[in-house]
Structure 1
Amino acid sequence: MPRRAAPHLQHVTVHGHRRAYVRAGSGPVVLLLHGLGCDHTTWDPVIGQLSRTHTVIAPDLLGHGSSDKPRADYSVGGYANGMRDLLTVLGVDTATVVGHSLGGGVAMQFAYQYPERTERLVLVASGGLGPEVSPAIRAVTTPGFQEVMGLLTLPGLRHVTTTALRVLSRTGVPELRDLGEVAAIYDSFKDPQTRAAIRHVVRAVVDWKGQVITMADRAYLTEAMPMCVIWGADDQVIPVAHAQNAGELAPTARIEVVPNAGHFPHKDHPERFVRILRDFIRTTEPSRHDRERWRELLEEGAPVVPAEAEAGEPPVTPVPAAG
C-alpha cells in the first residue's frame, strides 16, 4: 500500500490570532492535543493510520508550533476555549478528545467546560493526575529562564546540545529514550516568542510544589463520559503511577500502560497506540450530555476527600466515572 502524504498544514484566524492545524480523513472526529513545547507533528506517526477511519484534527496550541505566540491567556481554561472556537469555525460539533501531557490537562478542562461537545476523553501521559513533574519543567518557572535559555540556545551551543541529546536518545537506555523529543523542544527555544509563551504556559499549570491543575475535585462529573488513560511504562517526565491515580479517580476508566515506552507512547509504539484508541472508540458509546443529571451532580457536590489527600496524595474517589 502506498504511503500517504502528510496532511497539509492549514491556518485559520480566531479572535485575531492565527492558529495552525492539520485535518485528515473522514468519519467521526478525533481531536489530538499535543504537549508542552510540542506541536501537531508529535502526532505524525499516528495521523495516517487513524485518518483511515476517522476525521483527525491536530492543532498547534496557541504559543506553539506555527500558531501565533501573543501575550495572551495560556491557562488550560483558555486553551479549552480556544479549542471550542476552533472546532466551531471548522464546523465540528462533537469529538473524541485526546490530550498528551499538557494537552491532557486541556482535554480534561474541555470535557468539564463543554461536556455536550465531548464524546470521549483520552489522556496520554497526562498532566492533572498528580503533583509530580520533571524538574526540567519546574525550571521554566524560575526567574531568569528567558535570559539563561537565550544564552543556551545560541547557535553553536544549541547545535552541540541537540546533537548530544539525540545521540543519547538512541542508546537504548529506557530512561534516555525521550531525549530526542527534548532536543526538538530545546531547539524551539531559540525563538524568544516561543520561550515567553512556554513560560506563561508553565506558570499557569506548575508551581514550585509541582502541578497545579488537577481533575481530582471534578472527577465525579465525568460519570457518563467514556475515558481511556494511556501511559508509557518508562515515562521520566510524569510518573506512570499517575495512571493508577486516574484509575482511582475514575474507577471505570480504561487504563493502558504501554511497555518499553516513555513519555510519548504514541511515537514509541504508534501502531499499538492506534489499536488501543480505535478499540476504545469502537467499544464505547459517545457521551450524551444530560443537563439535569449534571445539575444533580453539582448540587450533590464532590465526595468527601480522605484526610491523606490533604498532603498531596491523590484521593480515592468512590464514585462512578468516565466509562
Structure 2
Amino acid sequence: MKKTCQANGIELAYQEQGQGKAVVLLHGFCGSSAYWEYIIPELAKEYRVIAPDLRGHGNSAVSVGTYSMELFAEDIKQLLDHLDISKATLLGHSLGGYVTLAFADKYPERLNAFGLIHSTGLPDTDEARQNRYKGAERIGQEGIEPFINDLIPKLFAKNNLQSMKDEVEKARQIGLATKPEGAQNTLKGMAERSDRNYVIANTSLPVLLVAGADDQVISPDKTFSVEHQLMTAETLPYVGHMSMYEGPNKLNDILHKFLSPKR
C-alpha cells in the first residue's frame, strides 16, 4: 500500500518496504513505483527500499509548468528529509536516471552510491528534443492513450513483445494511469535537460550502469558514454528498455552485487 507525504509543494506517493540502508528506486517516464514490483521484495530482504511515484506520475500530484530534472531531484531530497534518511543509494530507470544524476550533481553528500538503469548522462539530440515537444502537443490534442499505445512496444525488445504479453500490458496500464498534464510537463523537462556525463566522470561515489542489449530507446553506447574508475557496467542480453520486466532475476542479481556487502 502506498504512503504519501508533502514534498516540495506537492503530495508525493511512495512505497516503502524492508529495513537497513536506504535504497531509492526511481521509475521511468509514464511509469510508476509499480514498475519495481519484482525488484522491491527482493531488495527489501536486506535494505530499506523507497520507491516513489515521480511528480505527475502514478498516485503523485500534478503541478503546473515544466518538470525539470532539478525539480524532480528536489522532490526526492525532500522525501528523504521527510523519512529522516540522511544517505541513500539512488537507482534510476530511464527518466529516473536523469533525476538521479541531477540529485547526484546537487546533493552528493546524501548518497552512498548511485546507478542508471537504461539511462544516460547525455542530453537529447535536436531531433529527440523536437520529438518530445511534439509528443507533449499530441497528448494535448489526443489524450494519453494513443501516445502510450505507441510508446510501450518500443520499451521492450522486439523478440519479447509476443512472449511477454502480460508484462507489456502491465506497462501499458501503468502508462495509461499517467496524468496527461504530468506526461506533457515531463516531456518538456526531459527535452531541456543538460549534459550530465561530468557527474559520472567526476564523482567519488560508486556508480552502476545497466543497459539492455536490445534497447530501442537508449542504446548501450549511450548508457556507457563516459568512464569512471568506480563504475560497474552491465549489459543484459535479450533485454530492451525494461529489465525490471524482461529480466528481473538478472537485474536483482546485479543490484544485490552492487549494493553488498561493502556499502
| Shorter-chain TM-score above 0.5 | yes
Cα distance, 1:111 vs structure 2: 1.1
Quick one: distance in 2 between partners of 1:65 and 1:213?
A: 25
SS in 2 for 1:80: helix
- Matched-pair contact (CA < 8 Å) for 2:156–2:241: no
The yes-or-no answer on 1:173 pairing with 2:165 is no
Judged with a 3 Å threshold, the aligned counterparts in structure 2 of structure 1 residues 259 and 134 are, in CA distance, closer, same or farther, namely farther
The answer to whether the aligner puts 1:184 opposite 2:184 as a matched pair is no
Q: Give unpaired runs (5+ residues) of structure 1.
A: 1-7, 286-323
Within-5 A mapping of 1:121-136:
121-129=114-122, 131=124
- 1:102–1:127 Cα contact (<8 Å) kept: no
State the structure with bigger RCO (CA 8 A, min sep 6), 1 or 2. Answer: 2
Asked whether the 8 Å contact 1:105–1:213 carries over to 2, the reply is no
Give the 3-state SS of the residue equivalent to 1:45 in structure 2: coil
Instruction: Write the distance in 1 (CA, Å) between the matches of 2:28 and 2:199.
Output: 22
Matched ranges for 1:278-297 at <5 A? 278-282=256-260, 284-285=262-263
SS in 1 for 2:5: strand
Q: How many angstroms does 1:216 deviate by? A: 2.4
**CA RMSD, aligned part only?**
3.1
Read off the aligned partner of 2:44 and give its amino acid letter. Answer: S
Percent identity among equivalent residues? Answer: 26
Query: Which structure 2 residue ranges, 5 or more long, are not aligned?
Result: none
Contact 2:157 2:241 in 1 (8 A): no
TM-score normalized with structure 2 length: 0.85
Change (3 A) 1:138 1:231: farther
TM-score, normalisation: structure 1: 0.70
| Aligned residue number for residue 253 of structure 2 | 275
Contact in 2 for aligned 1:139/1:145 (Cα 8 Å): no
Q: Do the aligned residues in 2 keep the contact of 1:243 with 1:255 (CA within 8 Å)? A: no
Distance 2:42 2:171 in 1: 25
How far did residue 134 of structure 1 move?
9.7
- Residue 204 of structure 1: how far off its partner (Å): 1.8
For 2:14 and 2:2, how far apart are their aligned partners in 1? 6
Alignment-derived partner of residue 18 in structure 1: 11
Aligned to 2:221: 241
Moved beyond 6 Å, runs of 4+: 168-172, 175-178
User: Shift of the alpha carbon at 1:284?
Assistant: 4.5
Alignment of 1:40 with 2:33, yes or no, is yes
SS at match of 1:229: strand
8 A Cα contact 2:120 2:225, kept in partner: no
Aligned to 1:263: 241
Which residue of the other structure, out of 177, 182, 195, is the alignment partner of 1:214?
Answer: 195
Q: What does residue range 1-323 of structure 1 map to in structure 2 within 5 Å?
A: 8-72=1-65, 74-129=67-122, 131=124, 139-142=131-134, 144-150=137-143, 153=145, 173-174=159-160, 180=169, 183-184=172-173, 187-188=176-177, 194-206=179-191, 212-222=193-203, 224-246=204-226, 248=227, 250-282=228-260, 284-285=262-263
In structure 2, relative to structure 1, the CA distance for the partners of 1:183 and 1:217 (3 Å cut) is same
Matched-pair contact (CA < 8 Å) for 2:69–2:99 = yes
